[in-house]
């Protein structure tokens, strides 16, 4: 087995680890709106497409699979790669495959319309990119529990059982989670060359306020130094960096990982102090004032020396991901404020599913098994054809072909996170050769959430959640960028939150969490 990985682009780093509120952290507004309480309508695979084939036999009937995923654009070689996939899958599972990439702006709407109208989708990227819990609740996705057990044998060689258990809704599996990190760490990711100029010891950063001395040092060696703290309409990613855990849609988080009390972070004196610190960063010129402007391209800004760091995910390999995303122009380093915690949301926030409109769910699962468990398919879909789209280096890592770069490659989707198996992915030259060993160490250090497996059913308070989301849209970006004074702003914001029903939401979360804890022997 080759244990190599490639890259994600910085766009995905920001759009996925900072935007979701970073698609990753945007769960506070878009996820767990309804848990599996309404999942009875979700079709089981055996009901949708009975199969008499054994798990290892090649089916007699050929099937064409339409695979939809979200991305930046359709690559020049997309059809060529689809054809190459089909040559392999025809032999392995008697199926041909057509790739369909939908852009970020239209992905949710198009997919929901396609499924509602009965249009054929055989394999689909879900999780954070597609309102996963809502789709389960509406019966849009197939229950793949039995299919995964039967046809997912190659994936199961690498899949941590804790990830599968966390991804289940009422004991049922509706998507195969990507195989990478077990939970996310959070902290600052900044230009390594600038840090080296300062001589600053990144290991001294443990709290939000600790970053102030780093920003001061970096500003001294780079007068134009700026960072990006948030570009989202909620404070989720910042709360995560401050040690909180997400509990599904709407307000209400866990603080730390040693109790099951649902709290409102905006009422935490420590959060207020952190926001006051952020305000001082803004006034000192550390925070890029353009970073919240619609259309601001943080990838380009990092590559053009106009932005020098981001506060967000600090998981293993993030330094290389950011570097690769800007064509390896600069190297990056990080500090960790919050160690990795595997929570329920992290278990499913990137998943691959089978919609109810799939022609043959059994065959769809066979393809997912190849996509995430077969080294050839994993790397063909991520990087294209060796010699044409990438070349292998003597140490086994990969690079652009001679004369090619990130701008002119004919297949460079930068979507390695979307159907990722880190243990069989090729490794870009920007990554250390021992990256997989580092990943294993990181995952070994990850702590399971005290609430792993809990899914909040937001239906009883959906109106209050919508009202609170509007309040947060009004204030969160300014607060977490430091553009507004938290001491003057939070009292008025909290009055609006109270009027919108924040206390009712938190009480409902606490009620459901207590019931889940009692049923699962948690204290």
User: Could you read off the pLDDT of 434-467 as tens digits, one per residue?
Assistant: 999 999 999 999 999 999 999 999 999 999 999 9
The pLDDT of 61-69, averaged and rounded, is 98
Structure tokens at 323: 């570097």
Q: Judge contact between 332 and 36, C-beta under 8 A.
A: no
Q: Give 334's pLDDT tier (boundaries 50, 70, 90).
A: very high
Beta bridge partner(s), residue 59? none
Residue tagged 């009965």 (tokens)? 118
Mean pLDDT, the chain, rounded, equals: 88
pLDDT of residue 233: 65
Domain map (residue ranges) of the chain: 31-49+56-181+343-434
Structure tokens at 439: 């990943």
More confidently predicted of 4 and 84: 84
Structure tokens at 249: 């849609």
Fold annotation for 31-49+56-181+343-434: D-Maltodextrin-Binding Protein; domain 2 (3.40.190)
CA 290 to chain centre: 24
Q: Give 483's pLDDT tier (boundaries 50, 70, 90).
A: very high
The model's pTM is: 0.78
Q: Judge contact between 480 and 233, C-beta under 8 A.
A: no
Please report how the helices 486-500 and 502-519 are oriented relative to each other, as an axis angle in degrees rounded to 10: 70
Calpha distance 144→146 (Å, rounded): 6
Residue 45 has pLDDT above 50, yes or no: no
Calpha distance 238→229 (Å, rounded): 8
Calpha distance 114→41 (Å, rounded): 18
Residue 62, burial from CB neighbour count under 10 angstroms (0-12, 13-18, 19+)? exposed
The radius of gyration computed from the CA coordinates of the chain, to the nearest angstrom, equals 23
pLDDT tens per residue, range 283-317: 999 999 988 776 677 878 999 999 999 998 899 99
């Amino acid at each position: 087995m080759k244990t190599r990985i490639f890259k994600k682009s910085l766009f995905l780093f920001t759009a996925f680890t900072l935007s979701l509120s970073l698609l990753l952290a945007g769960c506070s507004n878009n996820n767990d709106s309804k848990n599996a309480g309404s999942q009875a309508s979700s079709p089981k695979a055996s009901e949708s497409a009975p199969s008499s084939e054994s798990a290892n036999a090649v089916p007699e009937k050929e099937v064409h699979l339409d695979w939809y995923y979200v991305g930046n654009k359709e690559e020049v070689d997309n059809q060529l790669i689809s054809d190459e996939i089909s040559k392999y899958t025809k032999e392995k599972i008697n199926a041909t495959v057509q790739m369909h990439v939908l852009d970020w702006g239209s992905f949710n709407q198009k997919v929901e319309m396609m499924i509602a109208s009965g249009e054929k989708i055989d394999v689909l990227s879900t999780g954070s990119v597609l309102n996963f819990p809502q789709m389960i609740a509406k019966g849009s996705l197939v229950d793949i529990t039995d299919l995964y057990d039967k046809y997912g044998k190659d994936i199961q060689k690498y899949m941590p059982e804790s990830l599968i258990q966390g991804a289940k809704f009422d004991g049922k599996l509706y998507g195969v989670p990507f195989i990478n990190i077990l939970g996310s760490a959070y902290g600052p990711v900044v230009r390594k060359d600038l840090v080296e100029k300062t001589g600053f010891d990144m290991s001294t950063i443990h709290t939000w306020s600790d970053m102030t001395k780093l920003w001061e040092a970096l500003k001294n060696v780079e007068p134009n130094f700026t960072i990006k703290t948030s570009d989202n309409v909620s404070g989720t990613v910042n709360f995560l960096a401050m040690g909180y855990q997400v509990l599904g849609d709407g307000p209400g988080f866990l603080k730390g990982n040693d109790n099951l009390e649902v709290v409102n972070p905006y009422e935490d004196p420590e959060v207020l102090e952190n926001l006051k610190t952020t305000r001082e960063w803004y006034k000192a010129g550390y925070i890029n004032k353009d970073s919240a402007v619609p259309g601001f391209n943080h990838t380009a800004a990092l590559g053009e020396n106009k932005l020098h760091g981001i506060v967000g995910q600090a998981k293993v390999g993030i330094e290389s991901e950011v570097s690769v995303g800007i064509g390896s122009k600069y190297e990056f380093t990080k500090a960790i404020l919050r160690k990795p915690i595997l929570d329920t949301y992290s278990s499913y926030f990137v998943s691959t599913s089978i919609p109810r409109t799939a022609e043959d769910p059994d065959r769809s699962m066979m393809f997912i098994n190849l996509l995430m468990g077969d080294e050839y398919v994993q790397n063909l879909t991520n990087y294209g054809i060796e010699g044409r789209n990438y070349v292998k280096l003597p140490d086994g890592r990969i690079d652009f072909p001679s004369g090619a770069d990130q701008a002119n490659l004919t297949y460079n989707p930068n979507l390695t996170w979307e159907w990722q198996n880190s243990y069989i992915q090729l490794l870009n030259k920007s990554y250390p050769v021992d990256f997989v060993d580092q990943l294993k160490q990181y995952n070994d250090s990850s702590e399971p959430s005290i609430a792993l497996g809990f899914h909040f059913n937001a239906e009883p308070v959906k109106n209050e959640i919508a009202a609170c989301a509007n309040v947060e849209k009004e204030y969160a970006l300014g607060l977490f960028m430091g553009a507004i004074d938290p001491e003057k702003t939070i009292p008025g914001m909290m009055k609006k939150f109270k009027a919108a029903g924040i206390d009712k939401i938190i009480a409902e979360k606490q009620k459901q969490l207590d019931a889940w804890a009692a049923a699962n022997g948690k204290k």
